[in-house]
């Protein structure tokens, strides 16, 4: 039955191509991913720095200094306050995404991006000058607020300005900027960790101001999307902007479709996303971000230095390893950008899932054979450490060209305008909830499950790959306002989506046989 997953809707080929205006706007907007990526990399790095632990988490510093026997090796970083430092950001992002949903719809994508950049900048300043744990946590909450707004607005902006045949690659600029932010953070952590006096962590945390400033300045000069302008009644300006980004004057067909979609959206409220008609979109905006986080990728992103240190790498070796994995993460994302609009979303999802599964098997066996149940505090032999890092890099590469960027692309492109802000809010909300859970429980799970932790994530990788195989139709090359056709032809989702518009054929919708 999976063959039905390959069906697609009817695609319209609107005039216009990949213009300079679209490229510049997309690059600037995608810089919102820099702030997200920088924080992911920084939080993991500073939590492995002894001066940072000594000042804010003295119990963890004392524990890791005192552990000499192998029985506690998996547990030496196990601390609820330490994980709360990392995960508190995602609670704030969850709350912010709900607010951002209304601001993005009422005042536009540009306004939402500006709010996100300013609050993130404030959080970075507070963290850099933190004097106690509460000041540190409050700064993290402001960072999370900024990320919630950016994650809500940027994927929508990119999907709406991009021509349909280039939408996949352009949307993935957001994920690419996340990986660049992670790599920069890893390099910054390594460099500042060498500073004598133990205050380099302040520079690492305060460095978040730089990507925030880039995002703020860039967003200020952006034009809002035609979709957003039409949604707010600025029809003339919307058409002018559409002409600019498409590079042609003959935009009447696309403009008329956008206006029609906007008029239709006014009949709907936020709760309409939960009706039967939008069941496929709702399911995917929940499950895709859920599965994205349960690949286990964030274990490596948040806690890579901690994880490598637990596995026997020295302080500098663990930070160098994160720089290596950051480089792999960034360059693998380019693979996705270059292939997503050629091979499609399904192919990358499925290949990435299989590759992650194989790598997790090897990593699990390698750690189990070397460390066993209790762990080993000694350093790994160079060849063994190299083997582990290679397969971790292959795992990260698989995620970086599949579930990483596609987790943001697919939900943003399948949502009709009338429920787009609401759907993106749910997408970001689920992402932040799951990110918080993983960040909060990882160190405890590592202590309790040992190498079995990787088996836990392996099971989820199998489940999500099967889910994509059976239930995701291909979306490449389909205009964002013409996406409904993919559900009407899918072997499973067609039972939920009417063959014609419900509002245009009420009699058919009232037919008992049709409803069944």
Contacts of range 231-239, beta carbons closer than 8 Å, 24 or more positions apart: 231/105, 231/262, 231/265, 231/417, 232/106, 232/107, 232/108, 235/259
What is the structure's pLDDT at 118? 95
What pLDDT was estimated at residue 441? 78
Lookup result for tokens 């995701």:
472
What is the distance between the terminal CA atoms of the chain, rounded to a whole angstrom? 21
Domain 2-59+84-515 in CATH 3.50.50.60? The answer is no
Residue owning tokens 């479709």: 257
3-state secondary structure of 285: helix
Scanning 247-296, the segments in alpha helix (DSSP H) are: 252-265, 279-293
The two three-digit tokens of residue 332, written as one number: 């693998």
Residue in 467, 474, 464 with CA at minimum distance from that of residue 340: 474
Polymer length of the chain: 516
Angstrom distance (rounded) from CA 185 to CA 326: 9
Tell which residue, 455, 193, 453, 431, has the closest CA to residue 305.
193
DSSP 249: S
Separation CA 480–CA 487 (nearest Å): 13
So what's the pLDDT on residue 398?
94
pLDDT of residue 146: 92
Region of 7 on the Ramachandran plot (φ > 0 left; ψ -120 to 50 alpha; else beta): beta
Q: What is the pLDDT of residue 127?
A: 92
Give the whole-angstrom CA distance, residue 200 versus residue 183.
17
Which residue's entry shows tokens 């690492």? Answer: 204
How far apart are alpha carbons 348 and 346 in whole angstroms? 6
Residues 153 and 346: their CA atoms lie apart, in Å, by 25
Long-range CB contacts (within 8 A, 24+) of 104-109: 104/152, 104/153, 104/156, 104/228, 104/421, 104/424, 105/231, 105/421, 106/232, 107/232, 108/224, 108/225, 108/228, 108/229, 108/232, 109/153, 109/154, 109/156, 109/157, 109/160, 109/224, 109/225, 109/228
Give the alpha-carbon dihedral of 291, 395, 335, 382, to 10 degrees: 160
Q: Which class for 186: exposed (0-12), middle (13-18), buried (19 or more C-beta within 10 A)? A: buried
Those residues of the chain that have pLDDT short of 70 are: 1-13, 63-79, 265-269, 301-319, 371-381, 499-516
Determine phi and psi for 312, rounding to 5 degrees.
105, 0
């Amino acid at each position: 039955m999976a063959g039905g997953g390959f069906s697609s809707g009817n695609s319209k080929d609107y005039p216009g191509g990949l213009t300079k205006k679209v490229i510049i706007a997309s690059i600037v907007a995608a810089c919102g991913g820099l702030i997200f990526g920088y924080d992911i990399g920084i939080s993991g790095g500073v939590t492995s720095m002894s001066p940072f632990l000594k000042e804010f988490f003295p119990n963890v510093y004392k524990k890791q200094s005192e552990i000499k026997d192998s029985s506690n090796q998996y547990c030496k970083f196990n601390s609820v306050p330490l994980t709360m430092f990392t995960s508190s950001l995602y609670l704030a992002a969850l709350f912010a995404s709900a607010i951002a949903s209304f601001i993005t719809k009422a005042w536009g994508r540009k306004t939402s991006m500006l709010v996100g950049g300013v609050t993130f900048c404030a959080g970075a300043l507070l963290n850099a000058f933190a004097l106690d744990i509460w000041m540190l946590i409050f700064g993290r909450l402001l960072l999370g607020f900024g990320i919630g707004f950016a994650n809500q607005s940027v994927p929508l902006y990119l999907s709406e300005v991009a021509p349909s045949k280039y939408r996949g690659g352009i949307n993935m600029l957001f994920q690419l900027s996340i990986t660049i932010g992670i790599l920069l953070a890893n390099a910054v952590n390594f460099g500042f960790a060498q500073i004598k006096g133990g205050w380099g962590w302040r520079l690492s945390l305060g460095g978040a101001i730089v990507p925030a400033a880039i995002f703020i300045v860039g967003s200020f000069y952006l034009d809002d999307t035609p979709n957003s302008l039409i949604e707010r009644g600025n029809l003339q300006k919307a058409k002018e902007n559409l002409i600019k980004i498409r590079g042609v004057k003959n935009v009447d067909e696309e403009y008329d479709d956008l206006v029609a979609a906007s008029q239709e959206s006014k009949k709907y409220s936020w709760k309409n996303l939960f009706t039967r008609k939008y069941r496929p979109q709702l399911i995917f905006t929940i499950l895709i971000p859920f599965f994205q986080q349960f690949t286990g990728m964030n274990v490596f992103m948040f806690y890579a230095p901690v994880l490598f240190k637990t596995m026997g790498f020295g302080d500098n070796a663990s930070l160098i390893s994160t720089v290596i994995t950051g480089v792999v993460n960034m360059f693998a994302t380019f693979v996705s950008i270059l292939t997503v609009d050629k091979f499609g979303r399904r192919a990358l999802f499925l290949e990435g899932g299989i590759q992650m599964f194989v790598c997790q098997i090897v990593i699990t066996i390698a750690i189990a054979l070397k460390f066993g149940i209790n762990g080993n505090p000694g350093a790994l032999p160079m060849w063994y450490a190299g083997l582990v890092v290679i397969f971790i890099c292959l795992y990260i590469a698989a995620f970086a060209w599949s579930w990483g960027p596609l987790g943001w692309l697919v939900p943003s492109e399948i949502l009709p305008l009338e429920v787009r802000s609401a759907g993106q809010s749910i997408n970001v909300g689920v992402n932040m909830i799951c990110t918080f859970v993983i960040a909060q429980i990882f160190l405890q799970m590592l202590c309790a499950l040992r190498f079995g932790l990787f088996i836990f994530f392996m099971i989820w990788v199998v489940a999500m790959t099967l889910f994509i195989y059976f239930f995701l139709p291909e979306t490449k090359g389909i205009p964002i306002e013409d996406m409904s056709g993919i559900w009407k032809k899918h072997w499973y989702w067609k039972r939920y989506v009417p063959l014609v518009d419900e509002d245009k054929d009420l009699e058919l919708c009232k037919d008992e046989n049709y409803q069944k």
